[in-house]
Amino acid sequence: MSPSRKPFRWLVWFGLAGFVAAIVAGFSIPLPYYTIAPGQALDVRPFVKVESGPNDHSEGQFFLTTVSLGQANLFQALAGWVDSSVDVIEESAIRPPSVSPDELTKLNLEQMANSKQIALGVAFEYLGYDAISGDGAKIVGVEKGSPADSFLRVGEVITAVNGAVVNDHFQLVKIVRATRPGSRVALDVQAVGGGGERRVDIELGSNPTNVEQGFLGVQLSTHNLRFDFPYKLKLESERIGGPSAGLAYTLQVLDVLTEGDLAAGRKVAVTGTIELDGTVGEVGGVAQKAVAVRDAKADVFLVPSAEREAVKRAIGKKVEVVGVDSLTDAIAVLERMGGKLRPMSADQVARSVRSGT
């Protein structure tokens, strides 16, 4: 080889090395973005383990829906930007700088654990059991300039409204939402740390999202929330995180604990959080979940009402999409489809427990 070709050969090797390094970097260096891609639609029934109590089996199936969430490298981000089924989201919208990836995973798993407990409680409450209890509505935030700002503070517990005992925070929310702006409410308030009680009279303002409703201006949680279940059921979830399977678990538990086929022999996909009062809340990643539901060939997809149109745009006409706002709404939809939910008699329950079926 002539001396004149040596520099060219080295240039080729340096170029090839640089290209390989760029490829490695593209795959290994995370970017400040996350991708939300279609996940799976999973049959919920295998996740419900009955240790004691009724255990009815139905032909219909309920499916929870998931997304695939992960921090993006260069190639994943580029692929996501050209793939309409994948969303590329700034990292700060998914994980604040103060939260590590491990902490985010832990938080999502904790949300799933809480969601499963609430799903069991709401299902038992629907069947008439006193499964959920608390000791009032604890104030976890007070909006500056709101009617509550001059009278209430974080850590106090509201135990009664106009003389009616408040056991959980949803009772208080329901009462306030039933009022009109300018109404006055008398609140029995327990001091921070469980001290004495005082009565506070407050004139309600106007709800920013619904000017016809009264507005107090506090963020609440249930104080000393407790669950008391008549039967032992374990809800598994593998490594799935987040609260969005709450409604799916609630419907599946009800189907297991009662006679009849609540899904009416169909494949019913479900997404939506479940709250202590049976309210269905919005979730994220509905477009990606729609793809998973379509691929699973589900017959119906129950979704929070506010997200129905977004799901319909993503899923097309292959799957019927129905919006619901509460557990009661969801059961009504299923019953119109032919679903049956018949609580067992005491004798049937006893036979079911003895036989293990």
Residues 290 and 197 in one domain: no
Candidates 301, 308, 312; CA nearest to 334 is 301
| C-alpha to C-alpha distance for 221 and 136, rounded to whole angstroms | 9
19 occurs within a structural domain: no
Question: What range does the domain containing 310 cover?
Answer: 33-130+230-355
Residues 188 and 241 in one domain: no
| C-alpha to C-alpha distance for 95 and 197, rounded to whole angstroms | 40
> Which of 224, 255, 275 is the last residue before a domain boundary?
224
Residues 244 and 307 in one domain: yes
Please state, rounded to an integer, the average pLDDT across all residues of the chain: 85
Task: List the CATH number of the domain containing 197.
Answer: 2.30.42.10
1 occurs within a structural domain: no
Q: What is the mean pLDDT of residues 118-141?
A: 94
Task: Report the range of poorest mean pLDDT among 94-108, 142-156, 245-259, 262-276.
Answer: 94-108
**Which pTM was predicted?**
0.81
Amino acid symbol at 54? P
Contacts 24+ apart (CB under 8 A), 334-338: 334/251, 334/262, 334/263, 334/264, 334/268, 337/264, 337/266, 337/300, 338/264, 338/265
**Helix boundaries (H) for 184-326:** 246-257, 286-295, 308-315
Residues 253 and 326 in one domain: yes
Q: Is 310 helix (H, G, I), strand (E, B) or coil?
A: helix
93 occurs within a structural domain: yes
9 occurs within a structural domain: no
Task: List the CATH number of the domain containing 318.
Answer: 3.30.230.10
| Burial class of residue 240, CB neighbours in 10 A (0-12, 13-18, 19+) | middle
Overall domain count for the chain: 2
Residues 343 and 235 in one domain: yes
246 occurs within a structural domain: yes
Residue 88 has pLDDT above 80, yes or no: no
Q: What is the pLDDT of residue 9?
A: 59
Q: What angle do CA 329, 244, 168 make, to 5 degrees?
A: 70
- Per residue in 251-275, pLDDT (tens digit) is 999 999 998 999 999 999 999 999 9
Cα distances from 69 to residues 94, 175, 345, in angstroms, run 10, 38, 44
Q: What is the pLDDT of residue 12?
A: 52
Contact present, 229 and 131 (Cβ < 8 Å): yes
Residue 95 has pLDDT above 70, yes or no: yes
Instruction: Count other Cβ atoms within 10 Å, centred on residue 28.
Output: 9
Residue 157 has pLDDT above 90, yes or no: yes
> Which of 191, 206, 224 is the last residue before a domain boundary?
224
Residues 139 and 248 in one domain: no
Residues 119 and 139 in one domain: no
> Which of 198, 224, 250 is the last residue before a domain boundary?
224
Residues 121 and 161 in one domain: no
- Per residue in 324-346, pLDDT (tens digit) is 999 999 999 999 999 998 775 55
**Which residue is it, tokens 């930007």?**
81
